[in-house]
Amino acid sequence: MAKLAVSCILFIFFINTLFQSASAAYNVINFGAKPDGKSDATQAFLRAWSSACYSNSPATLHVPRGLFLVKSISFNGPCRHRIVFQIDGTIIAPSSYWSLGNSGFWILFYKVNRLSIHGGTIDATGAGYWACRKSGKSCPPPTRSISFVGASNIVVSGLTSINSRFFHIAIDECVNIMLRKLKINAPSWSPNTDGIHIQSSSGITISNSTIMTGDDCISVGPGTKNLWIERIACGPGHGISIGSLGAYAAEDGAKNVTVTDSIFTGTQNGVRIKTWARPSNGFARNIRFRNIIMTKVFNPIIIDQNYCPDNHCPHQELGGGQSVAVDITTKYKKEHQQTSGSKFWLQFKQAVHRNQITGHKAYLFQ
């Protein structure tokens, strides 16, 4: 914990430095973007990014008020100096669900360092894609709204993400990412619209955010360590989930994950750990769920070591799953004489002997 505290102090120092005013400014309108929501602004955004990235001094890329239509786009680094990406308007994706291609992303930040993104709204216009999925038609691969891959020292603050076709925000192979004061919104029935997904990353902080979506509010994948989640309002959605872990024999686990001071309302699950029941190097270690308040949550706490999403897992081995070490302190609000939609407060599914469940306290209050 001491190392984590030192890391947090250093990260806060970095953030204060990052938020200092930049000396060069690049407005996307000056590069040809039109704020009408109809004209393709993709190339204008790329030209503005290139100028900011290769600037000889710290830079601001400014998206002013208005609607800016942007197709699949990749902001590549590394850049020479820190960049502030100031969004005062709305970035909108084309309505056609074929328009973003097969890349799997809409807005990608690749190998970018020292970036802060402030404010604004991104609208992935997911309704058409959700309808395609529901109809059973042939649909293109799902696209993440914002992806950070191989990035470091990133701050995202005050951003609103709506109508994602897949994950709203995805973090992969990143170091030192802070997400705060976010608003994430998709209908409760929208498929696979996780709010935030993290994997193979370290030093991630998510705080003071509201997440309403059709899948996990936050999902934590293999290779995640030193993740701090606090003051999250989750619901509707599927709660906060660690895993699935152990799908492959050689796979990193998840460790040093804390979820604290958060509220779950009307979610399918509260907090969940799910691992495949097969031999693997994967694990869930030093997991802490603290000061959690749940209201009308169907499955408050689940630890599932026999995870099988489609019930066709012929290679599952009871007792072959990964070890789990978790500390839990939760509160559950009683509603109309019904504590939850499930009979069980804390569910273990095919749990094996290598688990360490400590400090579990469940409070039921009126």
Give residue-wise pLDDT tens across range 88-112: 999 999 999 899 988 899 999 999 9
pTM, full prediction: 0.87
* Residue 146 and residue 107 in contact, taking contact as beta carbons nearer than 8 Å: yes
Type of residue numbered 305: Q
Q: Verify whether residue 118 is a known catalytic residue.
A: no
Q: How far apart are CA 46 and CA 59, in angstroms?
A: 15
Compute the C-alpha angle 165/169/59, nearest 5°. 120
Q: Check residue 341 and give its pLDDT.
A: 47
Q: How far apart are CA 81 and CA 15, in angstroms?
A: 14
Q: How far apart are CA 284 and CA 274, in angstroms?
A: 9
Burial class (CB in 10 A: 0-12, 13-18, 19+), 42: middle
Q: Check residue 358 and give its pLDDT.
A: 59
Q: How far apart are CA 154 and CA 312, in angstroms?
A: 40
| H or E element at residue 307 | none
Catalytic residue among 238, 312, 336, 360: 238
Integer CA distances (angstroms), 159 to 2, 28, 40, 116, 278, in order: 31, 18, 22, 11, 39
> How many CB atoms are closer than 10 A to CB 27?
15
Q: Check residue 257 and give its pLDDT.
A: 96
Q: How far apart are CA 132 and CA 165, in angstroms?
A: 11
Integer CA distances (angstroms), 73 to 83, 192, 205, 339, in order: 17, 22, 25, 46
Burial class (CB in 10 A: 0-12, 13-18, 19+), 285: middle
* Residue 197 and residue 223 in contact, taking contact as beta carbons nearer than 8 Å: no
Measure the N-to-C terminal CA separation of the chain; round to a whole number of Å: 34
Q: Which residues of the chain have pLDDT under 70?
A: 1-22, 312-366
Q: 4 by DSSP, 3-state: which?
A: helix
Q: How far apart are CA 261 and CA 289, in angstroms?
A: 9
Q: Considering the domain 223-366, what is its CATH architecture?
A: 3 Solenoid (2.160)
Only one residue has tokens 């407005």, namely: 27
Q: Check residue 281 and give its pLDDT.
A: 78
Residues in the chain: 366
